[in-house]
Amino acid sequence: MSQPPLQGVISYPVTPFDPDTGDLDLAALDRLTHELVAAGSHAVAPLGSTGESAYLREVEWDAVCETTLQAVGGRVPTLVGVSHWSTEGTVRRARVAARHGATAIMVLPQVYWKLTEDELRQHFATVAGAVDLPVMLYNNPGTSGVDLLPETVVALARGIPNLTMVKESSGDVARFRAIPELSEGTLSVYNGNNPVALEAFRSGAVGWCTAAPCLVPRWCLDLYEAARHDERERADALLAELLPFLRFIVGHGLPRAVKAGREIQRRGLGRPRPPLQPLPDGETRRLRELLARLDAPSAADGAAGPTPNGV
């Protein structure tokens, strides 16, 4: 397998909105992007579901793409989520991402009608053929309603030379071995299900796609390094501390939970965009407790060293 263009902790920024007007806050996005790079993220991935891309007007989508890639400034690779309900819209977004210097693009089958395998193949082939960039297929049955099994993923990738990566968010750890094996090493696999991060690395995932660094970057990077160096005791201790937080942000919706966490940390990024609503008070109190626990000295410190959450 050739060296994949992305690996390690791939950080997903939320999209900030002005707390008064609800408009895009591009200055806050610029600051957040700089924070994620300075914290040690191995790549930055705007405009996924965490970035509320489904709720952006096209002019807003373009502005978020441009602002984020300019803020990264080539310091780390970038992965832009270009998904749209239509093939035409996805192609347009892919070309905008390419024009602004994206390293790679990510495509989720964002559907209303269930697509046939032929329709999925045509969609991915058309998008991939519109740009000269590596393409990541995104399997997220929880948000798309479509679960692409390893055999289907490999079949889709045949005949699409630049479809070389798969973000697997089903939570089925066996797929991190199955996809590279079935594709004879042509597909690299990335974990998009936060709670199984450590199992995924141990099963062959080359990267972790996560919004958690918006709140606790050091913990995420420490876990990756421990997994990469096969420091099993240290990695297990880190995950034990981090797991309640990871389960919480996934279970309560990433845009809601991350934005609530940033408010708790006094680094607010505005409210989610309707129909999403801010995290309710009870859940916000629980998140405050989880973040306080990660800020405090912990059982993981002895094995992992200090794990500051700031950037």
Please provide residue 147's backbone torsions phi and psi, each rounded to the nearest 5 degrees. Answer: -110, 110
Active site residue 138: yes
**Nearest CA among 185, 187, 196 for reference residue 148:** 187
Instruction: Give the integer Cα–Cα distance in Å for 228 and 201.
Output: 8
- Any idea which residue has 């210097």 for tokens? 101
Task: Find the catalytic residue in 12, 138, 190, 224.
Answer: 138
Q: What Rg, from alpha-carbon coordinates, does the chain have?
A: 18
Q: Is residue 42 within 8 Å of 210, Cβ to Cβ?
A: no
Task: Find the catalytic residue in 12, 167, 224, 259.
Answer: 167
Q: Is residue 153 within 8 Å of 179, Cβ to Cβ?
A: yes
Q: Is residue 106 within 8 Å of 138, Cβ to Cβ?
A: yes
Active site residue 259: no
Instruction: Give the integer Cα–Cα distance in Å for 27 and 54.
Output: 21
Lookup: tokens for 148: 């692409």
Catalytically annotated residues? 138, 167
